[in-house]
Amino acid sequence: MIVHIPGVLNATQVESARSALLAAEWVDGLATAGHQGAAVKRNRQLAEGSPLARELGDMVLAALERHPLFISAALPDQVYPPMFNRYEGGETFGTHVDNAVRLLPGSGRKLRTDISATLFLAQPDSYDGGELLVEDTYGAHAVKLPAGDLVLYPSTSLHRVEPVTRGVRLASFMWVQSLVADVGERALLFDLDTAIQRLTQTGADEAARVQLTGCYHNLLRRWVRP
């Protein structure tokens, strides 16, 4: 399930983040690459836990907490602190799968990566290339969104970032441990929740809407992993 989440950050937030990131000091992206990713990762990123990464990460997390579409699609239990990367001059990240488990910085706790997320922070016409390609049974899907928009996709997916041949691609990336680990179950819940919201907006039969809402929550009780 690939889901486009529009307007996570507003124009003012995007410009503030972009200006700070363009002036920031960057480290080699290999600093956080796993064994598989190290062979194909060619980019730069903010040092994990740096003051700017924490500041911008807190802004992103606060925005996600207020975004109903993100909550509906991800059913988040924990979100890994957002990280930030930069691609230019042909930099790329070849085909890989994200690590299944990550250690939450400073906590000693582990997070299961059910969902991967990329928040775009540069306008798509400001750089060439840089598409996020996510593979599923129907092929590879190219994603290059307006600044401030986010895409969610299963962490089990093969994916890559195409080389950036002009300009600078800036983005935030993170992982979500969902309350519902199975992607198929999450997709069914998301479709059901979306239908319920549409029925509410159109003033459809109230008794039927309440019954469907009950089905949603009973399925959620069945599928939530404590």
Residues 154-175, mean pLDDT to the nearest whole number:
97
Report pLDDT digits (tens) over 43-88. Answer: 999 999 899 999 999 999 999 999 999 999 999 999 999 999 999 9
pLDDT per position as a tens digit, 187-221: 999 999 999 999 988 888 889 899 999 999 999 99
* Domains located in the chain, CATH noted: 3-178 (2.60.120.620), 183-223 (4.10.860.20)
- CB within 8 A of 183, min separation 6: which ones? 1, 114, 154, 156
Mean pLDDT, residues 12-38 taken together: 86
User: What is the model's pLDDT at position 205?
Assistant: 84
132-164 pLDDT, tens digit each? 999 998 899 999 999 999 999 999 999 999 999
How much is the pLDDT for 34? Answer: 62
Residue 36's pLDDT band, with cuts at 50, 70 and 90, is: low
How does the average pLDDT of the chain come out, rounded?
94
